[in-house]
Amino acid sequence: MKKVAVIGSGTMGNGIAHVFAQNGFPVSLVDISEEALQKALTTISKNLDRIITKGNLSEEQKQQTLNNITTHTTIQDGVKDADLVVEAATENVDLKLKIFRDLDSFTKPEAILASNTSSISITKIASATSRPGKVIGMHFMNPVPVMKLVEVIRGYSTTDEVTQQVMELSKQLGKIPAEANDYPGFVANRILMPMINEAIYSLYEGVAGVEEIDTIMKLGMAHPMGPLQLADFIGLDVCLSILNVLHDGFGNPKYAPCPLLVNMVQAGHKGVKSGQGFYSWTHGTKELVVADRFKK
């Protein structure tokens, strides 16, 4: 695989483009908005500067990484020569199905089509294409340039050859791939989201406050970040979406999202991205400040 296209230039998309470009791959970064693409390039440039500050990258290597990225506002232009396409659009099944129908039309027949989805069925996504054997999940972790894991998800029809190619490619990026089969939430979110949901239930039922819940999990379980803080970083809307996928997929009430989470998302309190979640993110410091609603 020589040329890569990334669909979506948000947090995950620009991180994925960054990692491929830094490892020498020509990358086409695609989004519907030129403004979003320029914002993504600015983010990538700043993240490369952080790596330079740590002494792990030269200014010349930064420039080469940026030179490896071209931007496009149409899928057709961005993917026509791609050997691999990684879709990193919003976690919305209808949107992903439309994107994969388009990718199937606009890419060469031998191209591998991957999704960075964190929970949506790869088999369902593959059903929108005429090449289900070449559709696979590449679930990168956030922040992509830092986190080592790539969860590689095999759809029902994904071939052994494609799986092996993606596993080897992940290693070329300096990542550690781990293979999973295509069931709701895969491995990472099937385990993580019920924990986050239980933490929200503990708050909802008055077992403990926001700081106490996160402190207990950080100090008692050696988690680098408490589950409520992590939920804010992931996005409470994303957490709710994944829990709904688990609940619908398994039909098991243990995956039902906490009513508090539902209400917060409906109120527009989505965590870091909206400025308010379990913590307040608008005060401009690195200090953790519990949102007013949850202060004692």
Tens of pLDDT, residue by residue over 155-184, are: 999 999 999 999 999 999 999 999 999 999
Known binding residues for NAD(+) are 8-13, 31, 91, 96, 118, 142, 273
Q: What is the mean pLDDT of the chain?
A: 97
Within the chain, which residue ranges are assigned CATH 1.10.1040.10? 189-294
pLDDT at 296: 81
Q: How many angstroms separate the CA atoms of 18 and 15, rounded?
A: 5
Nearest CA-CA partner of 75 in 94, 96, 58: 96
Give start-end residues of each CATH 3.40.50.720 domain in the chain.
4-181
Is 189-294 a CATH 1.10.1040.10 domain? yes
223 an active-site residue? Answer: no
Angstrom distance (rounded) from CA 92 to CA 270: 16
Assess whether pLDDT exceeds 90 at residue 293: yes
CATH architecture observed for domain 4-181: 3-Layer(aba) Sandwich (3.40)
- 201-236 burial, b at 16+ Cβ within 10 Å, e below that, comes to bbbeeeeebbbebbebbeeeeeeeebbbbbbbbbbb
Task: Pick the more confident residue, 91 or 82.
Answer: 82
Active-site annotation holds for 67? no
- The reply to whether 58 belongs to the active site is no
**pLDDT, tens digit (0-9, with 9 covering 90-100), for 257-289:** 999 999 999 999 999 999 999 999 998 888 999
Active site (annotated) includes residue 151: yes
Q: What is the pLDDT of residue 286?
A: 82
- φ/ψ of 108, rounded to 5, equals -70, 150
